[in-house]
Structure formats: structure tokens, C-alpha cells
Amino acid sequence: MLSYWEQASFLQYDHIIIGSGIVGLSAAIEIKDRFPSASVLVLERGLLPTGASSRNAGFACMGSLIELLDKEQYATDEEILGLFDHRKRGLERLRARLGDSNIGYAAHGSYELISTDEEHMLSEMERLNELLMPITQKPAYKLANDKIGQFGFSKDYTKALVENTCEGELNTGKMLRALINYALHKGIEIKTGANVAQYEEDENHVSVHINDTFRNEVLVLQCRSLSICTNAFTKQLLPDADVIPGRGQVLITQPIPGLKFQGVYHFDKGYYYFRELDGRVLLGGGRNLDFEGEATTDFALNESIHIALEQKLRDIIIPGVHFMIEQRWTGIMAFGKTKYPIVKAFSKRVYGAFRMGGMGVALGSETAMQLADMVYGDWG
């Protein structure tokens, strides 16, 4: 049972966004920019952001050589250019909004380890550089084979090393904290522990139903527009959405004295990714070992994949180096029929921006801007 004061002050908003990850927070900021006097609320089901925004590896990446060449099997050059440009502009927007120091951005290098099976694809590097030149204004990829030994990687696996000159790294925790603080400073409300059960739309507003476990009742908020930015969890509110969850397994070692590399790294078409972090190795991936099992929103660890990750550490990344695993976790990404995010109006008052394809850090800010433009076009 709500009080008169609660009903008068806490239930009515102009714009509500569900999801407090990169896309949701950025969408709230963009909407507030377009409607300065409007009341904007972000709802998050967990006490902390739930999904991938706070659980990723902190890669500021746009696409590795092998990943983009692999995409050519089912995407046109124009589509590849568009996706690369979307990622690049998204990262630039994130950095410009928050500032590099506030997100721990650094350009310590981005590299891809090339295996024997992939070595033949190096002949396409110059062509891909030319394709991307209108966006990058410089060659995006170049060989860095002289660094294989310097970084200590297995030469049995690593037949070549390709440097990506456009990418960097960031501190995921600092970035999300900075985004939250930015939103709060603009007067955006954020409510955590707000598990949205459903929404109902009529001619005048959208009613958002939240399970209030403390009061043991359903709390109903109302808004002019509702934006759903829940990525892998979108089907809970939009059952027909083309979204397939993809769980990412991650581990981090204890500090390793004398670790030979910095920067961010990919191998095996981007299915594995690792970086140096505070003298440790953070390693994630292996979803390709069990696509069916990892198509879930369950945050559980996959033991067989973690065994494989540790084997990659021993055999490829730090061969001959003793290490201990300090922590393990998972994050839930969202995939679909294409690599492009979904940004659309689902009705007169309900919008959505989701399915980041594991590239939310790069795509999130630009995708949020597109969503806000759509809302403003209808309600501005």
C-alpha cells in the first residue's frame, strides 16, 4: 500500500529506460540531452548492472583482422565498413563524454595471434586496410612478428602477430562508475533492485510493473515512452526479439612477476581474448567450444571451458610460466542473425536498443544515440 506522497512523487515519469548497462545509461543521457526538463528514470533489476557491461574484459576494439575477413563470408564490404564505423564512432563518443582518465583508457597496443590455419589470410591484410582507409585514415593492421618472442607467446602456435593500430583498452569498472555519475549529475534517476515483470501500453502512457519484494506487491510506474535496453535479457519483455544469449567465461590470474606484455589480444577469430591487467593476465572466451551450452542467461561457470582457458594460458600465452587463478566469472552477451544491433520502435511508445554482439563497449554509445534520436523524433 503506497502513501499519498509516494503516489504523487515517485510513480510518474516522462521517459523510463530499462537496463543500466552502457546502452541503457547512455540512452538515458542522450534522451535527457534532448529533453532537458523531462523526468528520466533508469531501472536496473540487480543491485549492480546485470549482463556484460560490468563483466567484460575492457577491450576498446573495433574488429580484428581475422574476425572481419571471416565476416566477408556473409556480409558485403559496405556492411563491414558500416559496422566498423559504428564501433569506431561509439568508442569516440564514449571517450569524449567521459574523458580517457575517467575510464582508464590506454593505448598499450592491440594484437591478434595468427595460427597456422589462419596464416594464409594475411595476404588479404593490405586489401582490408584499403577498404577501411576512409574510416581509419591510416593502415589499421600491420605485422608485428618481431614482438612474438618479446611478449613470450608460443611460437608453435603464433605464426604471425598482427597489430591493430586503432584499438585500446579501458577499465570497465571505472567506465561504468563514470557513466553512472554522469547520468546522476544530469538529474537522471537510477533505481536498482527494480525487476520489471511486464509493461502495458495504452493511448496515453506505458505502465511498467515492478515486483516490489519488500512490500510484497507490484509497483506500477507510468511514462510517456519506454526504452528497453536489456540486451541478452530482452526476450523477457519482448518475446519475439531476435536475440540469442551468449555467455562469456572469464578468469584472471594472480600477479605474475615479470609478465612480458601489455595491451589487448585476440586469437582464434576473436573467440579468445586476453590482456594484461595490474600485472595479471585476464583471459576470456571459449564460447565456440559449446555454443549450445553457452546460449543461456545463467551466470554459472562452464567447467570444461575453464579447463580449456587454463590450457591456452599454459600452451599459448605464457608457456613455461607458473600461474595461479585468482578469480573466475561470467558475463552474458547477446547475438542474433546479424552483427548489427537492433534499434527500433516496437509501438507508439515502446522502443528498444539491444543485441550488441559482444561489442557493447564499442557499439553502446552510438546505438544509444540512435535510440534517443528515434524517441525525440516521435516526442520532441
- Same domain for 253 and 306, yes or no, is yes
Predicted pLDDT at 50: 83
Over the stretch 311-350, which tens digit does the pLDDT of each residue have?
Answer: 999 999 999 999 999 999 999 999 998 889 999 999 999 9
Are both 302 and 320 inside the same structural domain?
yes
Contacts of 193 (CB under 8 A, 6+ apart): 44, 45, 46, 47
Strand partners, 244: 335
The answer to whether residue 347 sits within a structural domain is yes
Express each pLDDT in 40-95 by its tens digit: 999 999 988 888 899 999 999 999 999 999 988 888 999 999 999 999 999 999 99
250 shares a domain with 235:
no
User: Does pLDDT of 219 surpass 90?
Assistant: yes
> Could you tell me if 330 and 182 lie in one domain?
no
The residue type found at 321 is V
Position 223 in a domain: yes
Query: How many CA within 13 A on the CB side of residue 136?
Result: 19
Q: Are residues 345 and 237 in the same domain?
A: yes
Q: 189 and 321, same structural domain? A: no
> pLDDT above 70 covers what percent of the chain?
100
Domain shared by 27 and 13, yes or no: yes
pLDDT greater than 90 at residue 191: yes
Residue 100 lies in a domain: no
pLDDT mean over 365-372: 98
Output the domain CATH number for residue 18.
Answer: 3.50.50.60
Residue 251 within a domain: yes
pLDDT of residue 243: 98
Q: Regarding beta strands 217-228 and 12-18, do their DSSP bridges make them parallel or antiparallel, or are they unpaired?
A: parallel
Per-residue pLDDT averaged across 169-175, rounded? 97
**In the chain, how many H helices and how many E strands?**
11, 18
Q: Average pLDDT of 219-241?
A: 98
Pair (182, 221) in one structural domain: yes
Question: Residue 375: is its pLDDT beyond 90?
Answer: yes
Q: What is the mean pLDDT of residues 249-272?
A: 97
279, 318 contact by CB (below 8 A): no
Range of the domain at 199: 4-53+174-242+338-379
pLDDT of residue 73: 87
Residue 121 counted as domain residue: no
The answer to whether residues 273 and 308 belong to one domain is yes
Domains in the chain: how many in total? Answer: 2
What is the pLDDT at residue 161? 99
Q: Say if 359 falls within a structural domain.
A: yes
pLDDT (0 to 100) of residue 52: 87
Of the candidates 300, 318, 335, which is a domain's last residue? Answer: 335
Q: Which helix (H) or strand (E) holds 50?
A: none
pLDDT of residue 363: 97
For residues 255 and 234, membership in a common domain is answered with: no
The verdict on residue 27 lying in a domain is: yes
Where residue 296 sits, what CATH number does that domain have?
A: 3.30.9.10
Q: Decide: 196 and 221 in contact? Cβ < 8 Å.
A: no
User: Residue 255: its pLDDT value, please?
Assistant: 99
**Residue 257 forms part of a structural domain:** yes
Residue closest to 287 by CA, chosen among 220, 358, 237: 358
CA–CA separation, 113 vs 270, rounded Å? 10
Query: In which residue are the cell numbers 561509439 written?
Result: 90
**Same domain (yes/no): 238, 248:** no
pLDDT confidence of residue 251: 99
Grid cell at residue 35: 529533453
pTM listed for this prediction: 0.96
pLDDT digits (tens, 9 = 90+) for 109-140: 899 999 999 999 999 999 999 999 999 999 99
Burial state string for 272-284 with b = 16 or more CB within 10 A and e = fewer than 16: bbbbbbeebbbbb
Average pLDDT over residues 266-273: 96
Give the separation between CA 377 and CA 361, rounded to whole angstroms: 26
Residues 187 and 321 grouped into a single domain: no
